[in-house]
Amino acid sequence: MKTKETIQKDQTISAFWRRSLAFVIDLIILGLIGIAIGTALEHQLAILGESGPLIGFVITVLYFGVLDSYVGKGQSIGNKLFRICVVNKDGEFITLTRSFARAAILGVPICLNVLYLPILPAFVQLIIGLLFFSISVAVIYFYLFNRNTRQGFHDIVTKVFVVQANRVKEPIRTIMGRAHFVICSLLVMVVLCWGGYVIYLQHQPANVETMTMLTNLQADLAKIEGVDTTGVYVGNQVQSNDGNTIQNMNVTVYTHDPKLDLKVMEDNIINIVLEKYPLASHTKEIQVRIVYGYNIGIAKKYQTHVTAFSPANLERRGHAIENTVF
C-alpha cells in the first residue's frame, strides 16, 4: 500500500515556480497585446469608459482558451517556455469548451475586478463586485496553498491539471485535501459578510440621506458635457497636531474628450457639488480629478488632472497632472 509520501513522488504535477513564471510570461504577453491595441485605438477605448475591462477579458479568454486546449497542445506561450501543459485527470489535452470555461474563471481576477457598468444600479454593482472578488480569493487561495495538486479554483471547477510536458498521457493520482475547501469557503463567507455589512450600513437611517444626496450628485455630474462616468468619495482624516477630525471630498470624472476646457469643467463640477451636496461646504478640501484614458484590464493608460479647492472661497490650492501607464 502506497503511503502519502510515495504518492507525492509519483506526481507529474508542475512545480510551483515553473507555473508561476509561465503565468508571468503570459501576463506580459497579454499586456503587450493590450498596449498595442491601446496605441491603435486609444480614443475608441476611452469612449468605453469603465466597461473597458470587458475587452481585456475577451482577449484573455481567447488567449488561454485556445492555447491551453488540445488546439495548442495545452501550452500557452509561457507554458511552452517552461515545458508544462494543461491536461485532464487522464493526462489528455482538454477540449475547447473546457478550456474556455477555465479561462473565463481565470479572467475574473485578471480583468473584471475593476469592471464598472454605469447602466446597472449601485446595489447590483456591489453584488457583482462581491462575486468577482470571491472568485479571485478562491483562485489565489487554491493556487498558493493547494500543494498536492497545485490546482487553482479555475482548475478545480473544470477538473484539469498543469503537468510537466514530458509526463503527458500519465493519469493524475494525486488527491487534494478537503480541508482546503473548508478554509476557502470560510474566506469567501468573510468577504460576503463584509459586503452585507456595507449594504447594511448604507441603509441605516443616519446614512440614507447622505447616500441619496451623493447618488443624486453623481447623476448630475454625469450630465456635464463630455463626462462619461463619475465617482464621489467623502472621508474623514484625523489631524495629528490637535486630534480633530476633518472631512475631505474627492470627485472623479472620466471623459473621452481630450480637448475639453478643463478650467470650465472644474468650475461646473464645483458649482454642482456645492449645490447638490450642501455638506461639501463644511469639508476642508474638495479634490477634483478629471481623467482621460482607458483601462481594458490587461493594459491601461490614464492622464489625470488634479485640482484642490477650498470650499470656503473656491480658491484653487494646487494643480497637478498624473500619468498612469501599465
CATH 3.30.300.30 range(s) for the chain read 207-325
pLDDT for the residue 245: 66
The per-residue pLDDT of the chain, averaged, comes to 84
Phi, psi of 307 (to 5 degrees): -135, 135
Q: What angle do CA 109, 88, 19 make, to 5 degrees?
A: 50
* Radius of gyration over every alpha carbon of the chain, rounded to an integer in angstroms: 24
| Range picked from 25-29, 174-178, 220-224, 242-246 for highest mean pLDDT | 25-29
Nearest of 296, 292, 287 to residue 317 by alpha carbon: 287
Domain 207-325 has CATH 3.40.50.300: no
Confidence bin at 50 (pLDDT 50/70/90)? confident
Q: How many CA atoms lie within 13 A of 304 on its CB side?
A: 17
* pLDDT tens per residue, range 58-101: 999 999 999 999 999 999 999 999 999 999 999 999 999 999 99
How large a percentage of the chain has pLDDT more than 90? Answer: 33
* pLDDT tens per residue, range 187-200: 889 888 887 787 77
Work out the end-to-end distance of the chain between its first and last CA atoms, rounded to an integer number of angstroms: 53
Beta bridge partners of 290: 253, 305
Range in 69-73, 174-178, 300-304 with the lowest mean pLDDT: 174-178
Note the pTM of the prediction, 2 decimals. 0.81
Q: What is the DSSP letter of 217?
A: H
pLDDT for the residue 64: 97
What average pLDDT score do residues 141-169 get?
89
Q: How many CB atoms lie within 10 A of CB 59?
A: 21
* pLDDT tens per residue, range 203-244: 666 667 777 888 888 889 988 888 888 888 877 655 555 556
pLDDT for the residue 9: 38
Rounded Cα distance, 45 and 66, in Å: 25
What average pLDDT score do residues 291-296 get?
91
For residue 104, is pLDDT > 80?
Answer: yes
